[in-house]
Structure 1
């Protein structure tokens, strides 16, 4: 049966999000989450829809991907299609041939969940592996302890504080106050909670945004950051605990996050917040 590759319209992104919500499960490996697309909406709908790709068969979406940057494609497939050979071969072709419009020419990386037949086929085609990432998981069955610092929502009025913390945390000039405003205006903002941890002087020390995939499904931490002036004081643990609590209130069964294994401090922070380390994963890389 024919598999159709498509790029959704702005309205069509909701269909891809619905598929991703349905595919989230506590027993599934780390994979593309609806919150990943929700976070990308900080660039606005006109910048988000064109980077989404869907693969459909008989009218049903069986794979969803997002070009997270010009050289990184993040994707997952329906749970019952992990070992689907027809789909895997079609994905390999579309990912390998720039003329298909999924990936540009040159060196690129693909993030895909462990267990896909796709990985075996990419190895056969000569794709390599990139640096390791560490997935972390926290069960939310039981109530989450108080984080121990003042926590408050980060709304549009605190947009500049949100941007300042992320700029400092990730040593980048990219985050702006418009990120927060665009997120608020996005169609998926009801699934998100954006929180700040405050010091004794009322300054925002750390921020987190968490994303629900619906009741009974794992939620996502994306992003979390601590201002460099407040590092080493427990604010990263506190804001992560607060994010987990917010997800539990939204009905999430668990909280997930994935960070480069080389970021030892980040891994330690998540572990301190009650997250368990899962086996490392690696992106696939196609050299130019």
Structure 2
């Protein structure tokens, strides 16, 4: 059976996102989510399609990759083929072969879900592990407590508010209004919401984007940030609670977020909002 590697068309990105949504299961490993594809879509459809890799076998999509950076590939696999030796060998071969156009040469990173056979094969090829990340999860079977903030669901005419908070929360952010509209044009955003929290004086103090994978499936927060002028007031916890509540409203079974383990402040914020840490994960790294 031949395994085919390709990139989707811009029109085909919606289908890729739907497949990623089908692969999100409560009992499964945390892996690339349609929200990750949706957030990348802020750079436009053509750039997103060019950064997406799809592996097919007998006409069925079995693995999907997103080049979040030219040196970072994030992977997802259909649940039934996590331990498939043939697929893992082909994906690993494609990753290490520069002629396949998956990763640049030199030092590169691969994020693969825990339990995927490809991780073992890369380790055997001498790939090391990078700094740890902490996934955190909150079950959404019960209602979420009130955030205490006035929460605004962002629409096209208020996108400038959302992007301004993002830039004030993350140094070097390039999230401008034009990029919000590019993101919102992508199919994954049909199951997403951007939220801005305002304090008692009406100032926008924090923002988050949440992505549902469909009813009964895990949703994700990507990204969440607090305006630099309003930190230290519990607004990170508050906007995270609002995010969890919105995902529950969208039908998500749980809310997921992933942060570097060294960012102890972020881990503490998510835990204060009822998120429980899962076992740490590591990207794999090839020194080049």
TM > 0.5: yes
Query: In structure 2, how many angstroms separate the alpha carbons of the residues matched to 1:180 and 1:112?
Result: 28
**Does the 8 Å contact 2:24/2:213 carry over to 1?**
yes
Aligned ranges for residues 240-255 of structure 1 at < 5 Å? Answer: 240-255=240-255
Aligned length: 288
Q: Deviations over 1:224-277 (max 9, x none)?
A: 000111111111111111111111111100000100001111101110111000
Query: Is 1:5–1:55's contact at 8 Å kept on the other side of the alignment?
Result: yes
2:25 match? 25
Q: CA deviation at 1:287?
A: 1.3
Q: Does 1:134 align with 2:134?
A: yes
* Aligned residue in 1 for 2:153: 153
Partner of 2:37: 37
Aligned to 2:54: 54
CA RMSD of aligned residues (A): 1.0
Structure 1 CA distance for aligned equivalents of residues 124 and 202 of structure 2 = 56
Listed as ranges, the gaps of 5+ residues in structure 2 are none
1:119 has 2:110 as partner = no
Asked if the contact 2:192/2:210 (under 8 Å) is kept, the reply is: yes
* 3-state SS of paired residue (2:225): strand
Secondary structure of 1:93's counterpart equals: helix
Q: Given that residues 188 and 211 in structure 2 are in contact (C-alpha distance below 8 angstroms), is that contact kept between their aligned partners in structure 1? A: no
Maintained 8 Å contact 1:155/1:180: no
The secondary structure found in structure 1 opposite 2:136 is: strand
Unaligned residue ranges in structure 1 (runs of 5+): none
Q: How does 1:250-261 map to 2 (within 5 A)?
A: 250-261=250-261
Q: Does the alignment pair 1:283 with 2:279?
A: no
Alignment partners' CA distance in 2, 1:256 and 1:167: 23
Partner residue, 2:6: 6
Secondary structure of 1:21's partner? helix
Alignment of 1:181 with 2:170, yes or no, is: no
- Deviation at residue 157 of structure 1 after TM alignment: 2.7
Give the structure-2-normalised TM-score: 0.97
The Cα offsets for residues 72-128 of structure 1, whole Å up to 9 and x where unpaired, read as: 111111111111000010011111111111111111111110001111110110111
